[in-house]
């Protein structure tokens, strides 16, 4: 990264993409307390409300000083995104050291149940509310309702794994969640089975190991590919919920042609190796996915379930794994959510930015491009609106330059 381009401390901007947002900010406790309010609005389906809180939290995350009565009045109260409701909550926090509504939400059975239900892949806020309304509260209730064994977990998959495989990269619908007849990308039974694995955060070392293994497999099918681990990992999160890898080809001239169909080929290969066990989406076709309704780009991608092979039982690996704190030889590896995104060289950098997040940073990048620059930004490219002129950025820095934004390091995109 060029050190010459320093981040301008533009914390007053209304756009998250023009501010520096560290992973942990000087007002972290306040941000966390306000975030609970936003999350509860989201679980209640009040998305405009939730977004308002999300914006306010992001504004606070970029504020570089400790918020006190004085700095609140002087700076924070005047910032865009701090409306009257949030204003009152911050005031309360400064006076009492806590927000009463946050405390009561965290204690409430409804919030706890809805939060729990949405940890199951494919269950969004509206299905979660339905399950709550018909009387479900705990994970045991959820298991009983879906007729699966109490305490079911991923070890269940070991025996029946062969039938879960997805030949031709096609997802096999394994059942049906009773939410308006929509077929989930993976059955509720499988999702329940994977719930605990998915809820276990992925340490950076495992993200890197997955990336290594995947790129080695890709090199067997196609030489010359390059990649970036995007997502929360790139923003410096010590642990991630899933792994997002953006891939292109180093041949700038023929890369677009070379990567065509490569996503499907790689997915199949990883599937044959036993590493990809489920596919929720593969470029070319969409399965219904209630969690990703917002914004789709036109890149080839595979949204999958992935598992590293168990470490071999050799004396060498045993002594190695005693040294490293990782999994020991023969131990079950956890199932992980893996997204593979293929971009032609021309749109590689917009894809990398588009998949690095955070969600709000991306949202404001699109808004900034549209409102301030008359451009259209998304992971699959950068165009000028009035004449559809296509920009071809040569680097990540170039994207910021074209958009007229100061450089924001990925680790400062945690809006
Ligand atoms: P986490 O939860 O630790 O995985 O944290 P993130 O920030 O990696 O969250 P994730 O993986 O859901 O998303 C990473 C970024 O990728 C997000 O800021 C926006 C982008 N993204 C995710 N899903 C989609 C999608 O379906 N379409 C497009 N265009 N972008 C997406
Ligand atoms: Mg991610």
- Check whether 65 has a pLDDT greater than 60: yes
Would you place residue 294 in the very low, low, confident or very high pLDDT band (cuts 50, 70, 90)? Answer: very low
The strand pairing partners of 239, in sequence order, are 203
To 5 degrees, how large is the angle CA 233–CA 193–CA 118?
60
231 lines ligand 1 (CB under 6 A): yes
Q: How many residues does the chain have?
A: 415
**Distance from residue 106's CA to the centre of ligand 1 (Å):** 26
Q: Which pLDDT score, from 0 to 100, does residue 187 have?
A: 79
116 contacts 94 by C-beta, under 8 angstroms: no
399 contacts 393 by C-beta, under 8 angstroms: yes
- Check whether 365 has a pLDDT greater than 70: yes
- Check whether 168 has a pLDDT greater than 60: no
78 lines ligand 1 (CB under 6 A): no
381 lines ligand 1 (CB under 6 A): no
Q: Which pLDDT score, from 0 to 100, does residue 316 have?
A: 56
Q: Is 89 a catalytic residue?
A: yes
119 lines ligand 1 (CB under 6 A): no
Taking CA atoms, 121 is separated from 111, 125, 187, in Å, by 18, 11, 9
- Check whether 151 has a pLDDT greater than 80: yes
Q: How far apart, in whole angstroms, are the C-alpha atoms of residue 211 and residue 186? A: 24
Instruction: Give me the helix-helix angle, 100-107 and 28-43, nearest 10°.
Output: 50
- Check whether 377 has a pLDDT greater than 60: yes
pLDDT (mean) for 309-326: 62
Q: Which pLDDT score, from 0 to 100, does residue 162 have?
A: 37
286 lines ligand 1 (CB under 6 A): no
Take atom 30 of ligand 1 and give the residue whose Cα is closest.
355
Q: Which pLDDT score, from 0 to 100, does residue 131 have?
A: 97
Q: How far apart, in whole angstroms, are the C-alpha atoms of residue 32 and residue 36? A: 7
Q: Among 231, 282, 341, 410, which residue has the most ligand 1 atoms within 8 Å of its CB, making it the best to mutate?
A: 231
List Cβ neighbours of 295 (8 Å cut-off, separation of 6 or more). 362, 366, 378
354 lines ligand 1 (CB under 6 A): yes
Which among 73, 78, 85, 89 is annotated as catalytic? 89
Q: Which pLDDT score, from 0 to 100, does residue 330 have?
A: 75
Q: Among 232, 340, 351, which residue has the most ligand 1 atoms within 8 Å of its CB, making it the best to mutate?
A: 232
CB atoms within 10 A of CB 3: 5
Q: What is the DSSP letter of 84?
A: H
295 lines ligand 1 (CB under 6 A): yes
Q: How far is CA 209 from the centre of its chain?
A: 19
Q: Which pLDDT score, from 0 to 100, does residue 170 have?
A: 44
Would you place residue 177 in the very low, low, confident or very high pLDDT band (cuts 50, 70, 90)? Answer: very low
Lowest model confidence (mean pLDDT) among 7-21, 138-152, 195-209: 7-21
Q: Which of 383, 387, 382 is nearest to 351 (CA)?
A: 382
Q: Which pLDDT score, from 0 to 100, does residue 317 have?
A: 52
Closest atom of ligand 1 relative to the 357 alpha carbon: 18
Residue for token pair 């929360």: 232
pLDDT (mean) for 374-388: 96
Q: Which pLDDT score, from 0 to 100, does residue 212 have?
A: 98
The strand pairing partners of 225, in sequence order, are 249
368 contacts 362 by C-beta, under 8 angstroms: no
Q: Among 198, 200, 244, which residue has the most ligand 1 atoms within 8 Å of its CB, making it the best to mutate?
A: 244
Q: Which pLDDT score, from 0 to 100, does residue 157 have?
A: 75
CA of 359, nearest ligand number: 1
Taking CA atoms, 165 is separated from 267, 270, 308, in Å, by 12, 11, 15
Pairing verdict, β 202-203 and 239-240:
antiparallel
Per-residue pLDDT reduced to its tens digit, 125-146: 999 999 999 999 999 999 999 9
**Distance from residue 261's CA to the centre of ligand 2 (Å):** 23
**Distance from residue 133's CA to the centre of ligand 2 (Å):** 31
């Amino acid at each position: 990264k060029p050190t010459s381009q320093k981040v301008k401390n533009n914390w007053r901007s209304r756009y998250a993409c023009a501010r520096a947002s560290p992973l942990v900010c000087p007002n972290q406790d306040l941000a966390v307390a306000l975030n609970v309010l936003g999350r509860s609005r989201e679980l209640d389906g009040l998305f405009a409300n939730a977004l308002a809180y999300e914006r306010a939290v992001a504004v606070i995350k970029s504020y570089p000083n400790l918020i006190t009565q004085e700095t609140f009045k002087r700076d924070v109260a005047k910032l865009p995104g701090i409306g009257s409701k949030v204003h009152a909550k911050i005031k309360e926090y400064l006076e009492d050291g806590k927000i009463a509504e946050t405390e009561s939400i965290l204690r409430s059975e409804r919030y706890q149940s809805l939060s729990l239900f949405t940890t199951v892949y494919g269950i969004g806020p509206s299905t979660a509310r339905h399950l709550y309304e018909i009387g479900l509260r705990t994970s045991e209730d959820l298991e009983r309702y879906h007729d699966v064994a109490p305490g079911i977990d991923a070890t269940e998959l070991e025996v029946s794994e062969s039938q879960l495989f997805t030949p031709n990269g096609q997802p096999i619908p394994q059942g049906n969640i009773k939410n308006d007849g929509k077929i989930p990308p993976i059955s509720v039974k499988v999702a329940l089975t994977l719930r605990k694995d998915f809820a276990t955060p992925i340490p950076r070392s495992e993200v890197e190991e997955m990336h290594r293994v995947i790129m080695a497999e890709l090199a067997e099918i196609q030489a010359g590919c390059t990649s970036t681990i995007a997502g929360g990992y790139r923003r410096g999160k010590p642990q991630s919920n899933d792994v997002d890898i953006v891939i292109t080809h180093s041949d700038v001239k023929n890369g677009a042609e070379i990567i065509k169909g490569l996503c499907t080929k790689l997915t199949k290969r990883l599937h044959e190796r036993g590493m990809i066990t489920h596919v929720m989406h593969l470029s070319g076709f969409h399965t219904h996915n209630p969690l990703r309704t917002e914004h789709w780009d036109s890149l080839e991608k595979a949204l999958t379930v992935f598992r590293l092979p168990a470490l071999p039982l050799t004396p060498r690996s045993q002594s190695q794994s005693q040294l490293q704190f990782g999994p020991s030889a023969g131990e079950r590896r956890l199932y992980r959510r893996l997204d593979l995104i293929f971009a032609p060289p021309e749109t590689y950098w917009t894809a990398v930015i588009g998949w690095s997040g955070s969600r709000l940073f991306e949202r404001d990048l699109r808004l900034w491009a549209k409102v301030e620059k008359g451009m259209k930004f998304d992971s699959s490219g950068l165009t000028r609106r009035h004449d559809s002129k296509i920009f071809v950025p040569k680097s990540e820095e170039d994207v910021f330059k074209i958009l007229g934004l100061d450089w924001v390091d990925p680790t400062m995109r945690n809006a």
